[in-house]
C-alpha cells in the first residue's frame, strides 16, 4: 500500500523552535523520518542523533556565531533541513532547531527502516542479508542514512513543516523513556577541544541501527 502521510502527525514548528537543542535531540529519538522524492516514500524510526549549538560549541559549524553561505541556514527558524557534504562524499542530514538567530542543529545519525526499504537498497547499492534480514549498514551512520533516503545538499533549507514538503518528521506515538537512551561523545569532533568530550550524542539503547559498539545488541553477539 502506498505510504499515506497523515499531516496531523507531522511535528509542528513549536517542536523545533525550542532553545534547548539537547532536549530536542533526545525528543527526536523514536520519531519517524520521512522522505518522498519522485513519488517514492522512504521512512524510518530515528535511532541516533547528535546535538550542536552555537556560539559556544567548537564542534558546531557556526561556532562563535560564524555566518557563512553554508551556515546561514542554521540561523533561520527551526524546522528546516541543513544538509552538507562531508569529505566531499557524504551528504549529512541535520535538523535546524531553535528560534531565528540561534544557530542550533541536530545531526541524524541513524534510522531503523520501515517503508520503502527496496528503494533504500537500490540507492545504497547493497542487498538484503540472509533470510531477508535488513543489514544495519543500510541506514546506520549519517552518510548511509542520507543516501538511503535520497537526501542531498541541494535540499538544504527545505522546510520540514510545510504541507507540500518532501522531507518531514512525524510523531507516531512511540514512547521513548529517558532510561532507554544512552549518551556519549559525538563522533569525529576531536578538533573541538573540551567540547569534544561533551556527551551530546544520543541513541536508543536496544536498537541495532546505531553506531557500532553502542547498541546493547553488540554485547549480545
Is residue 107 one of the residues assigned to a domain? yes
- Residue 52 pairs in a beta bridge with 105
Half-sphere exposure in the Cβ direction for 29 (13 Å, CA): 28
Is residue 192 one of the residues assigned to a domain? yes
In angstroms, the CA 182 to CA 208 distance is 13
Q: Looking at residues 198-202, what average pLDDT do you find?
A: 97
119-137: pLDDT as tens digits: 999 999 998 877 778 999 9
Q: Looking at residues 98-123, what average pLDDT do you find?
A: 98
State the total domains in the chain: 1
- Per the structure, the complete domain to which residue 147 belongs is given by 7-220
Is residue 2 one of the residues assigned to a domain? no
23-38: pLDDT as tens digits: 999 999 999 999 999 9
Query: What's the CATH code of the domain at 197?
Result: 3.10.300.10
Q: Looking at residues 87-108, what average pLDDT do you find?
A: 96
Looking at residue 93, what is its pLDDT? 98
Is residue 68 one of the residues assigned to a domain? yes
Q: Binning pLDDT at 50, 70 and 90, where does residue 72 land? A: very high
Is residue 214 one of the residues assigned to a domain? yes
Looking at residue 127, what is its pLDDT? 86
- Does residue 115 have a pLDDT over 60? yes
136-175: pLDDT as tens digits: 999 999 999 999 999 999 999 999 999 999 999 999 999 9
In angstroms, the CA 46 to CA 28 distance is 7
Is residue 1 one of the residues assigned to a domain? no
Looking at residue 128, what is its pLDDT? 84
Looking at residue 4, what is its pLDDT? 53
Is residue 163 one of the residues assigned to a domain? yes
Amino acid at each position: 500500500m502506498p505510504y499515506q502521510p497523515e499531516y496531523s502527525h507531522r511535528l509542528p514548528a513549536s517542536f523545533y523552535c525550542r532553545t534547548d537543542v539537547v532536549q530536542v535531540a533526545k525528543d527526536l529519538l523514536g520519531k519517524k523520518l520521512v522522505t518522498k522524492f519522485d513519488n517514492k516514500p522512504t521512512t524510518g524510526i530515528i535511532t541516533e542523533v547528535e546535538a550542536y549549538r552555537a556560539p559556544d560549541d567548537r564542534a558546531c559549524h557556526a561556532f562563535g556565531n560564524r555566518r557563512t553561505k553554508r551556515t546561514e541556514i542554521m540561523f533561520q527558524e527551526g524546522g528546516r533541513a541543513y544538509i552538507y557534504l562531508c569529505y566531499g562524499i557524504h551528504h549529512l542530514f541535520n535538523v535546524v532547531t531553535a528560534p531565528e538567530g540561534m544557530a542550533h542543529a541536530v545531526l541524524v545519525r541513524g534510522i531503523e527502516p520501515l517503508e520503502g526499504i527496496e528503494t533504500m537498497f537500490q540507492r545504497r547499492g547493497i542487498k538484503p542479508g540472509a533470510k531477508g534480514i535488513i543489514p544495519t549498514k543500510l541506514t546506520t551512520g549519517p552518510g548511509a542514512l542520507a543516501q538511503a533516503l535520497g537526501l542531498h545538499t541541494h535540499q538544504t533549507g527545505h522546510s520540514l513543516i510545510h504541507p507540500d514538503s518532501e522531507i518531514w518528521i512525524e510523531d507516531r506515538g512511540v514512547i521513548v523513556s529517558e532510561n532507554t537512551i544512552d549518551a556519549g561523545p559525538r563522533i569525529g569532533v576531536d578538533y573541538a577541544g573540551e567540547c569534544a568530550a561533551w556527551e551530546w550524542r544520543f541513541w536508543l539503547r536496544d536498537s541495532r541501527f546505531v553506531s557500532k559498539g553502542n547498541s546493547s545488541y553488540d554485547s549480545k553477539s
